[in-house]
Structure 1
């Protein structure tokens, strides 16, 4: 890896690439569930929330992206399929070749029928089959956009927003061996992160710790973007806020970014920051950015990167996964509306990668 000082606030590091792909790419959508098994990345579901038609379309299809061949395949798995949804959490049990999917939601454009799911599903890549898991005890309440990680035979679930629009900060673990849930940190416990959804994290721990950044919560004045960084130690079972000092921190706060763990670092690309336009049918202000950041768990420092290769892209509600030391990014959209004149949403069907 070549790292050269680029400027006072950014480092030239790594290579950003727009992949040349083949096969049937996923249709326009935001925030599918994503997990990597071997050389493949699996994308499940997601939604197209079309501002121009004021309609939401939810999906439960499953795509496989072969990173060795840069090729897409639309799968036709056996078994009952999970219901269509967006904002599900997913992580891979790579030893067993399984993608685990928890939660997610469906809702109308005005959010009047917001339904958050509490079901747990497994996709067996070798068998090309879905199976719904029925744990022996009650687990987390249904929620949209939780953070999930997989480590040591357990699926960890943090946060998310419920059907009652409660922003959660509880932490649970599902043990595949015992088929049971265990609440590790209850909601509202002292020393925990604020309740939130859309926090950015990878799907694996870093040095034995679950790491997350930012997201969105409900504050006194309405929705509030967060810019705090937290680690949960799997050994001590304690949260620690590790938000760096201002000059070592990411800025400004953001949500809807795509993140992945590569080595001992957390990489974050894009996302939405405050400001922007709410025209062209958008229900809220839209302000996607193209930035790429790295959080060093060793230095506890965020660094804005300026990679070589192709230009960075402005995206939000996209997703990321790590394969063989490379971060791959999928789906999502940009937004452009000048004085009420579109095009509005600019959907992404390309695949991008970042090699640190």
Structure 2
């Protein structure tokens, strides 16, 4: 029997389907069971301290180790000593439940560097891990002084190691997609790309003009450009990218002159679709947050919560609709400021509230979506470090808020 006839045989079809499903299940199981790389040893002292931490108590855990394969560029900027640090409009850390670690990427505005490195923080091991050592540093709108590592290939500027040449702030455009087990980054910046393409011998007419979406595989330490077909959204600065399980994809949101809308990206299909948010009410411009927002997906309520300046917003996933739920005057101290350069805002799975860190003011706030209530918290114990380059995330495994000032690590248990 020919192979095509075998595939079309009614008698064999169920068997073939069974084998295909069995194979896919086997592949998924193998990926799920694969040990996390790089492997790090948990520190018993850290586990003991965190285990004793009570609600509303904070503790300084000490200095994190900084490990990884440091190249000359990383050492030039002392990354082997300091770790990544917050980078202007790049402060978002992404929790990865499969790895029980948090990812970080994104560039500074220009000083002291603009790098495409990727990092991971492991609280149990009290370690920063460099997953992708940086390629050559770039200038604000160009390729930098040394662009020997740059190629123009398949319509994009890419390094010889496969990393992004154009490297942006993350703003709030960074998320984890569990379907493909990759970090997604809407890498939008104002590099003079046509000039850069000519500089490396490319033809600007061949440039890909769709959304500059990149993915990163932490297990393999590999960047990959994500090329998609139309329809696709614009890629404005200061937007939000947030994975929403109910939609099986990531919501890309902005409300300004460049893009007013929310789009859904589904990674397995590499496809975009317009959610037509607030279409029924016709009030998207008035009801949705604008640029430089911070926020998180709330799985218990199935909403996205966002804070922009002194305004709070909810996005109802089922209705695909934004609503402004609270606003306060600039000098009103009953609500924190929300900004993607200084106020990381994450979901706490224990309290089911949001936790916002005011890095400059040294404060932590909780947000109750049910009561639409903000509360400035008063942690007991060690005070939060006040460095200007601090990063923060909620560690879902340890059930604590973590603030990292260079390598100094502070943990706070809210509930």
| Correspondence list, 1:1-356, <5 A | 13-15=56-58, 17=60, 19-23=62-66, 24=80, 25-30=82-87, 31-37=90-96, 38-47=99-108, 49-50=110-111, 57-76=113-132, 80-83=162-165, 84-88=167-171, 89-94=173-178, 96-105=180-189, 118-152=211-245, 153-159=248-254, 166=257, 168-185=259-276, 189-192=282-285, 193=287, 196-202=290-296, 205-214=299-308, 226-243=309-326, 250-251=334-335, 253-255=337-339, 256-263=342-349, 264-270=352-358, 288-314=360-386, 318-323=390-395, 324=397, 325-330=399-404, 348-356=406-414
Aligned equivalents of 1:250 and 1:168: distance in 2?
31
Q: Deviations over 1:16-43 (max 9, x none)?
A: 5454311234245412553222221121
Distance 1:245 1:292, change over 3 A: same
1:190 CA displacement: 1.0
1:258 CA displacement: 1.0
1:139 CA displacement: 2.2
Q: Deviations over 1:133-157 (max 9, x none)?
A: 1122242212222122112220111
TM-score, normalised to structure 2, is 0.60
- Segments of structure 1 that go 5 or more residues without pairing to the other structure are 4-12, 51-55, 109-116, 215-225, 272-287, 332-347
Aligned equivalents of 2:387 and 2:191: distance in 1?
22
1:62/1:75 contact within 8 Å kept: yes
2:177/2:183 contact within 8 Å kept: yes
1:317 CA displacement: 7.1
Distance 1:133 1:252, change over 3 A: closer
1:160/1:198 contact within 8 Å kept: no
Aligned equivalents of 2:343 and 2:104: distance in 1?
16
Aligned equivalents of 1:18 and 1:58: distance in 2?
30
2:182/2:216 contact within 8 Å kept: yes
Aligned equivalents of 2:364 and 2:220: distance in 1?
36
> Comparing 83-92 with 62-71, which one deviates more in the overlay?
83-92
Distance 1:307 1:16, change over 3 A: farther
Any idea what SS the aligned residue of 1:242 has?
Answer: strand
Aligned equivalents of 1:231 and 1:91: distance in 2?
18
1:106 CA displacement: 5.4
2:255/2:290 contact within 8 Å kept: yes
Q: RMSD of the TM alignment (CA)?
A: 3.4
1:355 CA displacement: 2.0
TM-score, normalised to structure 1, is 0.69
Aligned equivalents of 1:33 and 1:180: distance in 2?
24
1:72 CA displacement: 1.6
Any idea what SS the aligned residue of 2:120 has?
Answer: strand
Any idea what SS the aligned residue of 2:275 has?
Answer: strand
Aligned equivalents of 1:27 and 1:240: distance in 2?
35
1:265/1:296 contact within 8 Å kept: yes
Aligned equivalents of 2:190 and 2:385: distance in 1?
28
1:299 CA displacement: 2.2
How many residues of Structure 1 are paired with residues of Structure 2 in the alignment?
A: 287
1:121 CA displacement: 1.3
